Structure 1
Amino acid sequence: MPSVQGAIARATTFLFVPATRPERIAKALASGAGAVVVDLEDAVAPDDKAAARTALLSAVQGLEPGERARLLVRTNAAGTPWHADDVAAVAACVAQGLAGAMVAKAESAGVLQAVANALGPEGLLVPLVESNAGLDALDTLARAPQVVRLAFGHLDFQVDLGMECGPDEAELLPVRLAFARASRRAGLAAPVDGVTTATDDLPRLQQDTARSRRLGFGGKLCIHPAQVAPVQAAFAPGPEELAWAARVLEAAPAHGGAVFRLDGRMVDAPVLALAARLVARA
């Protein structure tokens, strides 16, 4: 599991593909996305759920092991008529090397425990938190077995609370901060932010992703392959950042752990940690 877990923990892009379009899975994996999420939930009509599961199982068999390790399946929420069959299908895929499940409408650690039991110890979980109840349970969800990251379904969250956010979504700042804090407390990789629905608005995508990074997120859900490269670029340290981090780390040993100044800026333990994180992210 370590290599599979590492792939999902490191991913900055999670690209959705409808399970009804299995021919797109290989294309999505080839897009450069860190992870691909095959969707059995919102992208699949109720009458197509069973056929979508069958298509998923067939598509997974045609993938290479390294591709399966980057694949998650978004299941329908617990309490829906399709949840149990979705989990059984994901379990069959996990047995073939698929990473695990993105659990929609996650609100209960008990549900996550049941999904983990069904998938077995190799199956990773990414709870998609989309409601006020999910936010209230954030810490218990983050600490549930086999959870590797939290993801924020901010559109459904707004609907659940009756919110009408502005373009900058300033109203959601405390919620996003809660995700970063819960992930940190549980020792998880940085959380994954929600989608940008404007697939042809590059400035909006860049602004949304920059906000995610500033708030401590480490990845973003994507709904179009064209979003992958800009999101990855926004999360990656720029050349100037990396050059600064390298100078900091190079200068630090000469000061024996004491505070020093570089480029007119004080360098202490938190700054050293930031420099190390930038280099590791690159």
Structure 2
Amino acid sequence: MCRARHGAPDSHWAEGHESFPLGPSLLFCPGDRPDRFAKAADRADAVILDLEDAVAPEDKPAARDAVAAHELDPARTIIRVNAPGGPDFDADLRALSVRRPRWVMLPKAATLSEVDRLVGALPGVQVVALCETARGILAAPALAAHPDVAALMWGGEDLIASLGGTSSRHADGSYRDVVRHARSSVLLAARACGRSAIDAIHTDLADQAAWRIEAEDAAASGFTATACIHPAQAAAIRAAYAPSPEQAAWARGVLEAAERHGTGVFEHDGRMVDAPILRHARLQAARATADQTAPTHDA
């Protein structure tokens, strides 16, 4: 059963239509590159300071010190700690205990006890549970139900590695069936509990068309954000999540028609409009408004 997060009513979160406060584009930045922190934060809606995969083992102490001392806006900063079960995880928690970050990403998330341990060390933190192993994908519903988990993210490459495979994608760039299943499973688990759902990074930096197509699919499917590893990807993601002028106009027209017709089913521009279509229109209108009021980030 999904539990309310930070005191929010279950009925509110069960709707699954809350806006993600960090915005749609989340840009990873290596924790041992403090010279890039501000630039990364400027290029995306939020930055993920990475203490895990982006940092070599010998550089982790320096990265930990740099991340603990960062001067970015805490409301727009996620810190990815190292995976539970090793000394780096404990060292991360000790280093962050003074700063008390608002957002922490838990990699290789698989059990509720791991979330409890993180929250115990950093009270009040909002956890992004990264489901990127076979155990983590299967645990996604339980993780989403945890009251301190604000969002789920998934990862394809670590998942395939945990399965003993060698590649998450086919030669044409499309996901393998097991990866598509994992992506859908995490999305369903997150949204069933009203948590945000973050789509995985696209590692092919040369295929710009694929970035946009994948982000557009994520937005249309119900993801609330997409992670990325390059500033240009952040701009493409923001554009993909923003409704087109035609979509925004359609949404406004449907909502205006609903005010005239009241509750129930009605016809608008030759199309039947019922409760699900109204929800689609409200979400498109909200995204259009958010895009208009969001600060501009140069690519």
TM-score, shorter chain, exceeding 0.5: yes
Task: Tell me if the contact between 1:100 and 1:119 (Cα under 8 Å) persists in the aligned partners.
Answer: no
State whether structure 2 residue 120 is matched by structure 1 residue 120: no
Task: Tell me if the contact between 2:20 and 2:224 (Cα under 8 Å) persists in the aligned partners.
Answer: no
What's 2:10 paired with? none
What's 1:159 paired with? 161
Deviations 1:163-186 (A, max 9, x none): 443211151332222112111221
What's 1:228 paired with? 234
State whether structure 2 residue 214 is matched by structure 1 residue 202: no
State whether structure 2 residue 110 is matched by structure 1 residue 107: yes
Aligned CA RMSD, in angstroms, stands at: 1.9
SS of 2:37's equivalent in the other structure is: helix
Match of 1:177 among 181, 184, 190: 184
What's 2:86 paired with? 80
SS of 1:93's equivalent in the other structure is: coil
Structure 1 distance, partners of 2:104, 2:132, is 16
SS of 2:204's equivalent in the other structure is: coil
Task: Tell me if the contact between 1:37 and 1:71 (Cα under 8 Å) persists in the aligned partners.
Answer: yes
SS of 2:99's equivalent in the other structure is: helix
Residues 8 and 264 of structure 1, relative CA distance in 2, 3 Å threshold: closer
Task: Tell me if the contact between 2:29 and 2:48 (Cα under 8 Å) persists in the aligned partners.
Answer: yes
- Between Structure 1 and Structure 2, how many residues are aligned? 268
What's 1:56 paired with? 67
Task: Tell me if the contact between 1:142 and 1:188 (Cα under 8 Å) persists in the aligned partners.
Answer: yes
What's 1:211 paired with? 217
Structure 2 distance, partners of 1:7, 1:265, is 27
State whether structure 2 residue 28 is matched by structure 1 residue 19: no
What's 1:133 paired with? 135
Residues 7 and 116 of structure 1, relative CA distance in 2, 3 Å threshold: farther
Deviations 1:112-170 (A, max 9, x none): 0110111112x111011110100111111112232111011111112212344321115
SS of 2:97's equivalent in the other structure is: helix
SS of 1:126's equivalent in the other structure is: strand
Task: Tell me if the contact between 1:75 and 1:104 (Cα under 8 Å) persists in the aligned partners.
Answer: yes
Give the TM-score normalised by structure 1.
0.89
**Structure 2: gaps (5+ residues):** 7-17, 289-299
Shift of residue 43, structure 1, vs aligned partner: 1.0
Range moving further from structure 2, 272-281 or 162-171 = 162-171
What's 2:145 paired with? 143
**Structure 1: gaps (5+ residues):** none
Shift of residue 80, structure 1, vs aligned partner: 1.7
SS of 1:187's equivalent in the other structure is: coil
